[in-house]
Structure 1
């Protein structure tokens, strides 16, 4: 996936941008993300190819006791041809 300009990252930023927003080195973030996903960090959405940023923020807010609401993850790819 090609990296988009920082101002164009939107709701599904690339992993390098997620690392930057979290003040992490991109290489170290890749290893940390694998471990944090086991704890509830939203996984990369297969359809969008990136993590949903508001869900990432919700994860950190819950982790630090700032929110009791749990973010939901998609249950799989949608079959848009089924309609």
Structure 2
């Protein structure tokens, strides 16, 4: 599975809507970025696309992605 397919996943999109995340691909950090409450997060290096989809496939009540995310550190030269 490619990152493009992950960002286009209906299951992940539904999950993000229900949990209050917005999701985009950010070229500055070369990663899928989930944003919520003014904070940006990306998936930890050890997390595969398959892990993400498995965690959200049945729209769980809790937030299983929280343990898979880390705060994004943007390059200093990026304009925000």
TM class, shorter-length:
0.3 to 0.5
| Length-normalised TM-score, structure 1 | 0.33
Which structure is richer in relative contact order (CA contacts within 8 A, separation 6 or more)?
2
Structure having the higher helix fraction is: 1
**Greater percentage in strand:** 2
Relative to the length of structure 2, the TM-score reads 0.34
